[in-house]
Chain A
Amino acid sequence: MPVQYYIFLSIALFCIGVMGVLMRRNAIIIFMCIELMLNAVNLLLVSFSKMWADAGRVDAGSAQLFVFFIMVVAAAEVAVGLAIITMVYRNTHSVDINILNRLKN
């Protein structure tokens, strides 16, 4: 099976994530679209790992460890980000990101 299939699937998932970040105004959904983009990149890394493992490289597992570290960083990011969103909601009773315009002043 050509590795291009996985590349195109990852591109499609990543672009759906970008589209969601640009289209939606709900802060939580923007967060979820960022998760979608991270997962598209993870899928691409795992398919490259499989590709190089089939080509006989012994260090092909590095890509899977990078995916592991991306998951770790994503989990930490979600914890802090949801805390921030909760605080914004507590102060403004809205998760509309346009409210954050007032950070300007």
Chain B
Amino acid sequence: MSIQQIIFMVLSVIALVSALGVVLSKNPVTSVLCLIVTFFTIAGHYIMLNAQFLAVVHIIVYAGAIMVLFLYVMMLMNLNAELEPQKRNWLKYAGAISGGALLVVLVAALRDASMPAIGTASTDIGLIKNLGQMLFKQYVVPFEVSSILFLSAMVGAVVIGKKD
């Protein structure tokens, strides 16, 4: 077993356990903390896949900005385990069973797919120089459109959150 596979296994186990922690924990703050752990393991996977720029952006945007936003909203609402809305039990089982059925179907569909293997050699395709050149040569229009999207999202959040 190579060192890459060992790192992959460790990161995957941590990611899956903490993702289950997001779903199963009673306290919403625990869910947010589990989600942060999941995001850090996914950033580790990105580094292993030679996507250094994406790993850094992922940590800054998700673990930094979005999770702080979630925690802030959660603290603002003062939620805790006692106020957690309780769902009927059979609905929980139905959700778990349908999610597991989706898992079985997807695994069965993709089990025999034949694809090229991932090599161990490092590539420089994920460095910011190559990605930036590609972004501003081929994907200029989506980049500018996403800036408009951000502006409208900011305006929308302010308008929605305003006290009327």
- Interface on A for B, CB 8 Å cutoff? 1-9, 11-26, 28-29, 31-33, 35-36, 39, 42-43, 46-47, 49-55, 59-62, 64-65, 67-69, 71-80, 82-87, 89, 94-96, 98
How many inter-chain contacts with C-beta < 8 Å in the A-B complex? Answer: 237
Task: Evaluate contact between B16 and A12: CB separation under 8 angstroms.
Answer: yes
Query: B19 — which chain A residues lie within 8 A by C-beta?
Result: 12-13, 16-17, 36
Q: Which residues of A contact B139 (CB under 8 A)?
A: 62, 65
CA distance A67 to B45 in the complex (A): 14
Q: Write out the residue numbers on chain B whose beta carbons fall within 8 Å of the beta carbon of A62.
A: 134, 138-139
Residues of B that sit less than 8 Å from A by CB: 2, 4-5, 8, 12, 15-16, 19-20, 22-23, 28, 31-32, 35, 38-39, 42, 45-46, 49-51, 53-54, 57-58, 61-62, 65-66, 69-70, 73-74, 76-77, 79, 84-87, 91-92, 94-96, 98-100, 102-103, 106-107, 110, 113, 115-121, 123, 125-126, 130-131, 134-135, 138-139, 142, 146, 149-150, 152-154, 156-157, 160-161
